[in-house]
Structure 1
Amino acid sequence: MNSHSHRFIEEFDGFVGFGLNRESDSDTVIYYLQKFSDDDLMAVLRKRLTDEDRQAIFDLLSGLLRKHLSEPEYHRYFLKTDH
């Protein structure tokens, strides 16, 4: 199974901004998520996030995964395991 990757953020040279159109909105969400999940940033934020912050992030992400992925897709693309 493939390991995790963040190639988009390394290769993207387009517009970063929200509200212009669906394509740039999608690019911006990917950009922000990959920047947000950077290990160095997470090392700082994990000490500062409140219990409520962590719960909100978890609820948002797990809810989106449940809404948009089948169980096999969840295992393949998120967990990176064979199902």
Structure 2
Amino acid sequence: MAKHSHHFVETFDGFSGYGLDRTTDEITLQLYLQKFSDDRLMETILKRMTDDELTELFDIISKLLKKYLSEPEYHQLFLKDE
């Protein structure tokens, strides 16, 4: 059984666009992030990014994880520890 899911991007059929309101912004970011993390897309983009860009993206993601998740949430939701 898969540990990761991307159901939202597969089932959402509403409006998306950034800057209208908080709810639509959250929906749009979730769609973009799920599309962005697609294996084929990542294989393409990561090879083209500079070392500095890789570091910058890693730092942003790490900062968000540290800021918004407790240690147990980090293990449960991100690492998918059992």
**TM-score, normalisation: structure 2:** 0.94
SS in 2 for 1:54: helix
Question: In the aligned structure 2, how far is the partner of 1:14 from the partner of 1:55?
Answer: 34
The residue type paired with residue 7 of structure 1 is: H
How many residue pairs match? The answer is 82
Gaps of 5+ in 1: none
Quote the Cα distance in structure 2 between the aligned partners of 1:41 and 1:71: 30
Give the deviation of 1:16 after TM superposition: 1.6
> Per-residue deviation at 1:43?
1.0
Q: Which runs of 5+ in 2 are unaligned?
A: none
Runs of 4+ residues deviating >6 angstroms? none
Residues 32-68 of structure 1 show CA distances to partners (whole Å, capped at 9, x for unaligned) of 1000000010111111011111111111111001000
2:81 corresponds to: 81
User: Identity percentage over the alignment?
Assistant: 56
Higher RCO structure, 1 or 2 (CA under 8 Å, sep 6+):
1
